[in-house]
């Protein structure tokens, strides 16, 4: 029996299971591809554990999906017939995912079939969220700081970004989103798929 009450977490669990089944991967194969333990993947798929941002990054990399894509697909912006919906999306109706490890909050702005993926992230003071380079394969990405200060580690390079600053990501590199300040940092991630890794 699931102890997860957040409906988005249940949708993420179902999406991870669906993506694994689409590829006809066993739990062991996904564990090998992602670096996430088989036991953890099993608990996530059964709705017994809420994945952290780091785990989502590793799983999305294994699927060659962005974290935004994985969450947008889990959110499932479709009508009763299963067709993609367009038009107004009210903030009050938007699902927000919270990382249980850091308190990082992520809200999808665009639906799963819009050509660019846009997400709003709220990073609490002291939070640090790393992603492997593979999470950015086949992706072109811009990070736009809306409020606060973001310390962005791109490989060995560290960028200090203030409100209004942007950074366009280049080649896939391991990165860390960190908030070393005493106030929340709010930023947008805008990404599109690329033909090459």
> Which carries the bigger pLDDT value, residue 34 or residue 90?
34
Distance in angstroms (rounded) separating the CA atoms of residues 115 and 138:
14
Cα–Cα distances in Å, from 74 out to 18, 26, 46?
10, 20, 15
What superfamily does domain 7-75 belong to in CATH? lambda repressor-like DNA-binding domains (1.10.260.40)
pLDDT 10s digits, 21-59: 999 999 999 999 999 999 999 999 988 888 888 888 889
Mean pLDDT of 161-171: 93
- Whether 95-193 and 7-75 are alike in CATH topology: the answer is no
55-73 pLDDT per residue, tens: 888 898 888 877 777 776 6
What is the third-level CATH fold of 95-193?
A: Jelly Rolls (2.60.120)
Q: What is the CA radius of gyration of the chain?
A: 16
pLDDT of residue 79: 40
Confidence of residue 94 (pLDDT cuts 50, 70, 90): low
- Nearest alpha-carbon partner for 110 in 122, 101, 102, 118: 118
Least confident window among 27-41, 90-104, 132-146: 90-104
Write out the E strands in 1-147.
Answer: 96-98, 105-108, 117-123, 128-131, 139-147
What span, in angstroms and rounded, lies between the C-alpha atoms of 77 and 47? 21
Distance of alpha carbon 66 from alpha carbon 146, whole angstroms: 21
Half-sphere exposure of 136 (CA within 13 A, CB side): 22
**Domain residue spans of the chain:** 7-75, 95-193
């Amino acid at each position: 029996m699931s102890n997860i009450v957040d409906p988005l977490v249940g949708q993420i669990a179902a999406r991870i299971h669906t993506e694994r089944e689409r590829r006809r991967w066993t739990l062991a194969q996904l564990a090998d591809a992602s670096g996430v333990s088989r036991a953890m993947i099993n608990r996530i798929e059964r709705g017994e554990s809420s994945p952290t941002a780091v785990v989502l990054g590793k799983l999305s990399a294994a699927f060659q999906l962005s974290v935004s894509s994985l969450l947008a697909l889990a959110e499932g912006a479709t009508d009763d017939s299963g067709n993609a919906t367009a038009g107004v999306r009210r903030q009050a109706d938007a699902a927000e995912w919270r990382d249980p490890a850091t308190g990082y909050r992520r809200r999808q702005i665009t639906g799963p079939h819009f050509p660019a993926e846009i997400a709003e992230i709220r990073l609490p003071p002291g939070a640090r969220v790393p992603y492997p380079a593979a999470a950015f394969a086949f992706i072109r990405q811009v990070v736009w700081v809306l409020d606060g200060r973001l310390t962005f580690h791109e490989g060995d390079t560290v960028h200090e970004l203030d409100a209004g600053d942007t950074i366009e990501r280049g080649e896939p590199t391991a990165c860390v989103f960190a908030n070393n300040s005493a106030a929340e940092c709010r930023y947008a991630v805008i990404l599109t798929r690329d033909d090459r890794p």
